[in-house]
Amino acid sequence: MIDIVIDTCTLVHANDPNCVYYPSSVELISRMLANSTCATVDEGFELDEGRNRSYIGLEYLTHLQPGTLGFSLIVHLATNDRINFVSNTIPVQRKRYIEQLIKNKKDRMFLRVAFNSGEKTLASHDYTDYQEAKRKTIRNDLGVNVVTAEEINDML
């Protein structure tokens, strides 16, 4: 696997031992540290909050606290040139489709970036905006696989 888009919640879950996703999130981070798979974000990502222009970068810098596993992974990937940058601009008809399908603006951005990524894979534990039926629709209509950390771990 060359790259994946990782939803912020998937990284945050690696810091909550009471969360059902905790073990698979920790494993995802461990596997990402041990292999060459890149994380894909929208253009403009910088670890320096003042210079960051990436929406996904803003999400990471806002919700991943220094010292946590998720933050450590992003820093490791950034300092080792393992972050891919893609445009968040997609064809208008696809953008409208996503806007109708996904109500949360933040989740739309992750999906748009995944649409432009190499593997077209989004690791997300968000079942509020990406219910199982929507995950199938997204796969069929956009070619993007929305999977959990547990599902992606088998591919890394």
Contacts of 57 (CB under 8 A, 6+ apart): 41, 42, 44, 45, 46
21 closest CA partner among 34, 8, 32 = 8
Range of the domain at 102: 3-153
Note the pLDDT of residue 44: 96
Give the gyration radius of the chain's Cα atoms.
14
Note the pLDDT of residue 89: 96
Q: How far apart are CA 64 and CA 61, in angstroms?
A: 6
Q: Which residue has the tokens 């591919």?
A: 155
pLDDT digits (tens, 9 = 90+) for 70-123: 999 999 999 999 999 999 999 999 999 999 999 999 999 999 999 999 999 999
CATH of the domain at 38: 3.40.50
pLDDT digits (tens, 9 = 90+) for 9-53: 999 999 999 999 999 999 999 999 999 999 999 999 999 999 999
Domains held by the chain: number = 1
